[in-house]
Amino acid sequence: MQFEPFESKVWLSSPTMHGDELEYMKKAYDTNWMSTVGENIDEVEKLVCEYIGCKYSLGLSSGTSALHLAAKLAGIKRGDRIFCTDMTFAATVNPMVYEGAVPVFIDSERDTWNMDPAALEKAFELYPDVKVVVLVHLYGTPAKVDEIRAICDKHNAILIEDAAESMGATYKGVQTGLFGKYNAISFNGNKIITGSSGGMLLTDDEEAALLARKWSTQSREPASWYQHEYIGYNYRLSNVVAGVVRGQMNYLDEHIAAKKAIYMRYKEGLSDLPVTMNPYCEDIMEPNFWLSCLLIDEDHMCFQKRGDLTAEYKTESGKSCPTEIFETLAKYNAEGRPIWKPMHMQPIYKNNAFVTTKGEGEEFYFDNVGTDIFDRGLCLPSDIKMTPEQQDKVIQIIRSCFL
Ligand SMILES: *Cc1c(COP(=O)(O)O)cnc(C)c1O
């Protein structure tokens, strides 16, 4: 089957601006608050607290810096083992390692693709002294928060929530970003709302919020000269960037609704193919549907082999694989992305421990869930500026891969 390539690229997830952003940026410019202090920062910190329901929020230069300050607040010391979601973006775990943490990666479960509570329980049996758990809500789908929190409480461990991808998603009606002691969101360019960059630390702990605020501005003490009692960082959010985020806050719900419509259109449009969508537990959670992903049925996978940097596959009738779909979409000027390669498969973390329940009671090719989802899954174009007509064509292109 042949298609015309898309005239303008259909993106995975790119910034969507509305005009309000420019007004607030201009306000920063016109009043000369072109720094890391100003009304946009104050307002956006207030708006995020109101929306999510946290007591304190701290505007920062990135989600990564928010996670770094969370690692410090959690008291991570050099050599401390921590537990962390395995299938995630490296920015979840790298900031823990800045503080000297030794991450133990916890396998994913099938229902949400997030941290498997059974594997976490098993990890505490192996390493009972662990005091920090870092939990991700992958692609905007909440993890099994109740189970994870109960295990953390039982073992007196601090929960850090990486809600970088899940802003606006709820679990039992409660926003993600409220479940951990210290939590991070991100305003990176591809997230559900963006500042071009930026992030926030969320917490209900006043003392922690004040301390993190101090660390984020080079740990200046309240003297007229530069006086320092701790190591500091230059992590504060810019008032210009905060203006973009401030404008975007008006459209967060609209973005989520558009992302959900995309997910549902894929679900419907792909329903007769041997694929499933990234799953969630409909009765207890409402994702923000940041990225729509598919998972190819095992018996409809063609041959695919991935090395460290390249992949190969063999076309087979009636079958396909993520590499074929990814490359075919690219050929028509549409952007997919392989599932985030699990941390335990990354060269940088290859010597770290990894805990899985090995999919007990399940039979599949790989001996853990993360590797299997990475092998058979693909993130689909999920940009909210994609029109229904463009999405229909994306679906046709995917369909053609199985012919
Ligand atoms: C984007 C992202 C981050 C990092 O946020 P930045 O603002 O890009 O630093 C952390 N964790 C996850 C899961 C992310 O997707």
Query: For residue range 52-82, what is the model confidence (pLDDT) as tens digits?
Result: 999 999 999 999 999 999 999 999 999 999 9
Sequence letter at residue 192: I
CA distance 95 to 62: 11
Query: What pLDDT is recorded for position 2?
Result: 75
What sign for the dihedral angle of Cα 85, 90, 92, 96?
Answer: positive
Using the mean position of ligand 1's atoms as its centre, give its distance from the Cα of residue 30 in Å. 31
Of 273, 260, 261, the C-alpha closest to 398 is 273
Mean of per-residue pLDDT scores for the chain: 97
Q: What is the 3-state secondary structure (H, E, C) of the chain?
A: CCCCCCCCCECCCCCCCCCHHHHHHHHHHHCCCCCCCCHHHHHHHHHHHHHHCCCEEEEECEHHHHHHHHHHHCCCCCCCEEEEECCCCHHHCHHHHHCCCEEEEECECCCCCCECHHHHHHHHHHCCCCCEEEEECHHHCCCCHHHHHHHHHHCCCEEEEECCCCCCCEECCEECCCCCCEEEEECECCCCCCCECEEEEEECCHHHHHHHHHHHECCECCCCCCCECCCCCECECCHHHHHHHHHHHCCHHHHHHHHHHHHHHHHHHCCCCCEEECCCCCCCEECCCCCCEEEECHHHECCEEECCCCEEECCCCCCECHHHHHHHHHHCCECCEECCCCHHHCHHHCCCCEECCCCCCCCCCCCCHHHHHHHHEEECCCCCCCCHHHHHHHHHHHHHHCC
Q: Is the pLDDT of residue 359 over 60?
A: no
Pocket probe mutation, ligand 1, options 92, 136, 186, max atoms within 8 Å of Cβ: 186
Of 35, 38, 58, the C-alpha closest to 48 is 58
pTM given for the model? 0.97
Using the mean position of ligand 1's atoms as its centre, give its distance from the Cα of residue 91 in Å. 5
pLDDT tens digits, residue range 89-138? 999 999 999 999 999 999 999 999 999 999 999 999 999 999 999 999 99
CA distance 400 to 392: 12
Confidence band for 361, pLDDT divided at 50, 70 and 90 = low
Bridge partners of 198, per DSSP, are 62
% of residues, the chain, pLDDT over 70: 98
Query: What pLDDT is recorded for position 3?
Result: 87
pLDDT tens digits, residue range 225-268? 999 999 999 999 999 999 999 999 999 999 999 999 999 999 99
Q: List residues near ligand 1 (CB under 6 A).
A: 62-64, 88-89, 91-92, 136, 162, 164-165, 186, 188, 199
Confidence band for 358, pLDDT divided at 50, 70 and 90 = confident
Query: What pLDDT is recorded for position 383?
Result: 98
For the chain, what is the radius of gyration of the CA atoms?
Answer: 22
Pocket probe mutation, ligand 1, options 13, 64, 244, max atoms within 8 Å of Cβ: 64
Provide the pairing of β-strand 377-379 with 293-296.
Answer: antiparallel
CA distance 24 to 350: 45
Both tokens of residue 178?
A: 């409220």
Using the mean position of ligand 1's atoms as its centre, give its distance from the Cα of residue 304 in Å. 29
Give the lowest-confidence range in 134-138, 216-220, 350-354, 366-370: 366-370
Using the mean position of ligand 1's atoms as its centre, give its distance from the Cα of residue 252 in Å. 18
Using the mean position of ligand 1's atoms as its centre, give its distance from the Cα of residue 274 in Å. 31
Using the mean position of ligand 1's atoms as its centre, give its distance from the Cα of residue 57 in Å. 17
pLDDT tens digits, residue range 263-291? 999 999 999 999 999 999 999 999 999 99
Phi, psi of 38 (to 5 degrees): 150, 175
Q: Is the pLDDT of residue 1 over 70?
A: no
Contact of 297 with 285, CB cutoff 8 Å? no
Mean pLDDT of 28-37: 98
Q: Tokens 């993520």 — which residue?
A: 322
pLDDT tens digits, residue range 154-190? 999 999 999 999 999 999 999 999 999 999 999 999 9
Q: Is the pLDDT of residue 210 over 80?
A: yes
Residues comprising the chain, all counted: 403
Helix 239-249 vs helix 20-30: angle between axes, to the nearest 10 degrees? 150
The terminus-to-terminus CA distance of the chain in angstroms comes to 9
Kindly report the protein residue whose alpha carbon is nearest to atom 14 of ligand 1: 164
pLDDT tens digits, residue range 291-341? 999 999 999 999 999 999 999 999 999 999 999 999 999 999 999 999 999
